[in-house]
Amino acid sequence: MTARMILALSLAFGLAACGNKTGDEAAPAKSAEKPMEKAAEKPMEKAAEKPMEKAADPAAEAKTIMATRCAACHGIDGKGDGAAAANLPVKPRSYADAEWQGKVTDEHLKKVIVEGGAAVGLSPMMAPNPDLKDKTAVVDELVKIVRSYK
């Protein structure tokens, strides 16, 4: 198993564990409250559970993703020389390749980022990032980062 696969599996299991409820939570006690009273309390309970979050900065999130997911294989400088690259059967793309940069479209890059290499006939070792499917601004920023290496 390659370092990239181990990293991807660890991340997947870690994220899954964070989001799942165990089912060990005690069931709420039944009360004599009327349905309307209970419904009226729900928004306040939800607001107390989850305070308003600051709007995410897509550029900052993209930089974090590049550093934590992409750089392991593609390298900090985008040259395809990340720490995990040596163990891969297909070497990662060097974003610094001007000829490749001129041929590839932004749409192609977005598809590879979200759906992985296999989605476009490239190495299946390029892992998909399905969590970014609805984060178009973050994906756009990742494309900008890739383009910045040329």
Q: How confident is the model at residue 39 (pLDDT cuts 50, 70, 90)?
A: very low
Q: Is 87 helix (H, G, I), strand (E, B) or coil?
A: helix
pLDDT at 59: 98
| pLDDT tens figures, 17-37 | 333 333 444 444 444 444 444
pTM of the model: 0.65
Within 13 A of 49's CA, how many CA atoms are on the CB side?
Answer: 6
pLDDT at 8: 43
Whether the predicted pLDDT of 66 surpasses 90: yes
Q: Compute the distance between CA of residue 141 and CA of residue 61 in angstroms, rounded to an integer.
A: 9
Environment class of 22 (CB within 10 Å of its CB; exposed 0-12, middle 13-18, buried 19+): exposed
Whether the predicted pLDDT of 43 surpasses 80: no
Q: Compute the distance between CA of residue 113 and CA of residue 132 in angstroms, rounded to an integer.
A: 8
- The rounded percent of the chain whose pLDDT value lies above 90 is 62
Q: Percentages helix, strand, coil for the chain, rounded to the nearest 5? A: 60, 0, 40
pLDDT at 55: 57
Helices (H) and strands (E) in the chain, counts: 7, 0
Domains of the chain from N-terminus onward: 58-148 (1.10.760.10)
| pLDDT tens figures, 91-101 | 999 999 999 99
- The rounded percent of the chain whose pLDDT value lies above 70 is 63
Mean pLDDT of the chain: 77
**Residue 101 contacts by C-beta under 8 Å, 6 or more apart in sequence?**
95, 147, 149, 150
